[in-house]
Amino acid sequence: MSEQNVPKDWFELMQKMWNPASFPMPGMITPTVNLEEIDKKIAELKAVENWLTMSTGFVQMTIKTLQMQKSALESLQAAGDAAAKSLNSKPPKSK
């Protein structure tokens, strides 16, 4: 029976479980002590946060626009239906 690729170290096992693609995950086991690296990571995460906030705002604006468009179309349709009803319900004019 061939031996599978089983990690011998418990931390290695945990990292493989949480990160199956084996991308480097700094700070996963030991914290980073380099202040410049931490500042760089904070700046990167703030940039991502700002982008996500902007994207969320754009999605919310798109939803509101579609809701207003739907309301306008429903109003127009209701007005058209009411006009058609009033035309069909009028008795024919006698001469």
Give pLDDT tens digits for 61-76.
Answer: 999 999 999 999 999 9
Check if the beta carbon of residue 7 is closer than 8 Å to that of residue 13: yes
pTM score: 0.52
| Tens digit of each residue's pLDDT (9 = 90 or more) over 4-14 | 665 567 667 66
3-state helix, strand, coil in the chain (%, to 5): 65, 0, 35
57 token code pair: 């705002």
